Chain A
Amino acid sequence: MTFALALEIVLAAVVLTGAVWTIASRETLPAVAGFVAYGLLLALVWVRLGAPDVALTEAAIGSGLTGALLVSAAARLRSSEGPMAVERPDVILRVLAAVLSAAVTTALAISVLLLPDPAPTLATAAAENAAATGLGNPVTNVLMAFRAMDTMLEKIVLLLALVGVWSLAPDRLWGGRPGPRHHADPQGVLAFVARVLPPVGIIVGIYILWTSADHPGGAFQGGTILAAMWLLVMMAGLTDAPPVSERRQRLLLLAGPVVFLIVGLGGLAFGDAFLAYPMAYAKPLILAIEFAMIVTIAVTLGLLVAGPPEREAGS
């Protein structure tokens, strides 16, 4: 057993401790804290598995934004916790659930141990076709060129989720501003950080997008950082959430999927197939799509965390 393997076993044990804490905790806020810690440690697991792009995504979206959502939801639902405690299921259901979970775990564990050796892989195919776009990062190649259809549909799924969240507003508040109006002491710490951090955050976010051509990074990770900076500024009260009906915001939300769709249809008209990039223009086209994507992702993720409208548009 090598030293690295021993450390990985320790890491897996700590990750599982976080998972057990999330399920077993009596109160909700500690469970959410355990889940955020679990997600951040999982990002380390991804690094050990040789996937830095996924580690960035897990840390940013899986733990960061999801954690923000869960904490604010847990805070709002705090008054409902007491009455729910009487609904705990009886012992028989718990035992049956434990048996079922153990069965699923065993089945998955057996399939892990029985994975085929040598492992089938598409890495060689990805490497052979990497010259088609000239990008150095294979994951970006896959996301933007080989499986661009998945990425485009993912953007549309994000938009659909946002429309779903917006539609949960009461009728009279349709088109209003999401979330409460935040007030922070303008001389206080939060306002200070909301002035100092966003310039740095914007540079880091755009850098992560720019460097994803050859190094780990990507539009989603960069867009998440931009969304986080926007949320920070909103939470410090330095700016108010724009009303849901604002036209410019809706145009920004559409920019990513529309550019993607136009390039795709262009590929259909001038090339071989939908989303086929001509070899000479592959990199500029991908860059154009990615810049439109990061704007849409930043606005969409920020609005998903802000939630459905809770105030009138004029307030």
Chain B
Amino acid sequence: MSAGTVFGLCAAVAVGLGLYGVITNPQPLRKILAFNLIGSGVFTFFGVVAHRGAAAGFGGDPIPQALVITGIVVAFSATALALALLLRLFQAAGSATLRADAPPSAGSDPAKP
């Protein structure tokens, strides 16, 4: 059991927890949170692979680390877009539900383009 294994198992549990959260939580904001959890679990998995590839005097294999840096930035931009969509949905429909048959509530302004 090494550091890589410990954190690899931690990443596996994080991905499972995130998946559970995406499926069961009805609020879209919580789904976005859980999705970020899945993403960070996958990145940690990458990190474990990079840590095991330590060679040539480096602490870890630099290629997966660079890929993860790119991944974190792209995940942030996806989260920003998702949250902007969610807030616009809330503004237009008055509620943040994802159900198709929900009636428009009093505070909505669907007429506003």
Contact = CB atoms under 8 A, between A and B. Distances in A.
Interface string B11-52: 111111111110111110110111011001001110111111
Contact of A50 (B15, B43, B60, B113): B60
Query: Of residues B13, B68, B75, which shows the largest number of chain A Cβ atoms within 10 Å of its Cβ?
Result: B13
Contact of B73 (A49, A61, A77, A146): A61
Contacts, number: 293
Nearest to B23: A97
Nearest to B42: A108
A79 B29 CA distance: 13
Contacts of B52: 115, 119, 121
Interface string A86-120: 01110001100110111011101100110100011
A248 interface: no
Give the interface SS of chain B, mostly helix, strand, loop or mixed.
Answer: helix
B64 to A, nearest CB: 8
Interface string A23-47: 1000010011001001100100110
Interface in A220-269: 220
A22 B85 contact: no
A53 B69 contact: yes
A105 B13 CA distance: 6
B89 to A, nearest CB: 10
A106 to B, nearest CB: 8
Interface stretch (A122-130, A180-188, A191-199): A122-130
Contact of B84 (A45, A139, A164, A218): A164
B85 A108 contact: no
Contact of B54 (A93, A105, A121, A308): A121
A113 B7 CA distance: 11
Contacts of A168: 84-85, 88
Given A50-B51, A51-B65, A157-B77, A45 B10 contact: yes
Interface in A154-190: 154, 157-158, 161-162, 164-165, 168, 170-172
B61 A54 contact: no
Query: Of residues B11, B50, B76, B87, which shows the largest number of chain A Cβ atoms within 10 Å of its Cβ?
Result: B76
Given A50-B60, A89-B26, A109-B9, A307 B73 contact: no
A33 B51 CA distance: 29
Nearest to A25: B30
Interface of A: 1, 4-5, 8-9, 12, 15-16, 19-20, 22-23, 28, 31-32, 35, 38-39, 42, 45-46, 48-51, 53-54, 57-58, 61-62, 65-66, 69-70, 73-74, 76-77, 79-81, 83-84, 87-89, 93-94, 97-98, 100-102, 104-106, 108-109, 112-113, 115, 119-124, 126-128, 138-139, 141-143, 146-147, 150-151, 154, 157-158, 161-162, 164-165, 168, 170-172, 218, 220, 301, 304-305, 307-308
